Structure 1
Amino acid sequence: MTLKVYLSGEIHTDWRERIIAGAEGLDVSFDSPVTDHEASDDCGVAILGAEDDKYWHDHKGAMVNAIRTRKGLEEADVVVVRFGEKYRQWNAAFDAGYAAALGKSLIILQRPEHDHALKEVDAAALAMAREPEQVVDILRYVLTGKLPA
């Protein structure tokens, strides 16, 4: 069995790298949104032209980024959504809802301080993890049936 995993959510920590490194040797492929914050914010105006109004600047970027995000979510077997500590990730919540609506297997990665705010998101997930290594353990178990040592 091969799993295609989409890694969505905050882009300011190394959680993606920890999951990818931990899953080495497993039959898993990973995809994610563009994680270069500046490129993600400015892609619309860099490609389609400048905007004087910040709303339209952001709107263009969101639309261009949505092409990649939709494809990644739709093609994924498993969607991991990370909610970080520093910023409110409305886009992560949207991705979790979209993945749930598509019937994707959803793993939420969050800190305890977000438990109350994310209770509805967690209710749609098949697992809620605290650390990236727990996500790796879930993937390993799903693929091999082996529990962590």
Structure 2
Amino acid sequence: MEFIIYLAGEIHTNWRDKIKEEASRRNLPFRFVGPMEKHDLSDDIGENILGEQPNAIFKDQAASDINNFRTSVLMNKADIVIALFGEKYKQWNTAMDASTAISSNKPLILIRPEQLHHPLKELSNKANVTVEDVQQAIDVLSYLVE
């Protein structure tokens, strides 16, 4: 049985690649989807499709509509959501995706470093599993199919 896993979280580091490579190395039956990882395309998609917008607010709104559509479709197809909260970048999208997973009854693995325990305590409490790093998340996935 193959599982689809939505990888929610910041798009500036290679954490997704680490999960994909380790899952492949362990021969785990997972297919991965997630947000658009090309930052410029994500920011510009509204204007690329709908044309130039009158200002930055409308540009962001147009892009958000299309990015939210993409996220909704892919997350609805997913069997599992992994949401990573990193230390460096603002994490609004991650919080939104994790909350969406919870409200949609999608099994959620939350990855957050120990120093983010306090600000994420309520979200962590609602997640199915909370871990501190990518390796622990892979170990949870591996246990799922053991």
Could you state the TM-score of these two structures normalised by the residue count of structure 2? 0.94
- Is 1:19 the counterpart of 2:19 in the alignment? yes
- Equivalences for residues 66-105 of structure 1 within 5 A: 66-105=68-107
- Is 1:126 the counterpart of 2:128 in the alignment? yes
Separation in structure 2 between the aligned mates of residue 77 and residue 17 of structure 1, nearest angstrom: 19
**What's the CA shift for 1:114?**
1.4
Q: What SS is found at the alignment partner of 1:74? A: helix
2:64 equivalent in structure 1: 62
Separation in structure 2 between the aligned mates of residue 50 and residue 112 of structure 1, nearest angstrom: 43
Amino acid across the alignment from 1:34: M
Work out the number of aligned pairs and report it.
144
1:7 equivalent in structure 2: 7
1:135 equivalent in structure 2: 137
2:39 equivalent in structure 1: 37
Which runs of at least 4 in structure 1 moved beyond 3 Å after TM superposition? none
1:28 to 7, 30, 46: 30
1:110 equivalent in structure 2: 112
C-alpha distance after superposition, 1:14-54 (max 9, x if no partner):
11000000101111111011111111111101111112321
**What's the CA shift for 1:2?**
2.3
Separation in structure 1 between the aligned mates of residue 113 and residue 11 of structure 2, nearest angstrom: 15
Amino acid across the alignment from 2:54: D
5+ long unaligned stretches in structure 2: none
Separation in structure 2 between the aligned mates of residue 30 and residue 14 of structure 1, nearest angstrom: 14
Once structures 1 and 2 are overlaid, which stretch shifts more, 123-132 or 99-108? 123-132
Q: What SS is found at the alignment partner of 2:145? A: helix
Amino acid across the alignment from 2:133: E
Once structures 1 and 2 are overlaid, which stretch shifts more, 17-26 or 80-89? 80-89
Separation in structure 2 between the aligned mates of residue 27 and residue 87 of structure 1, nearest angstrom: 30
Q: Give identity over the alignment, percent.
A: 38
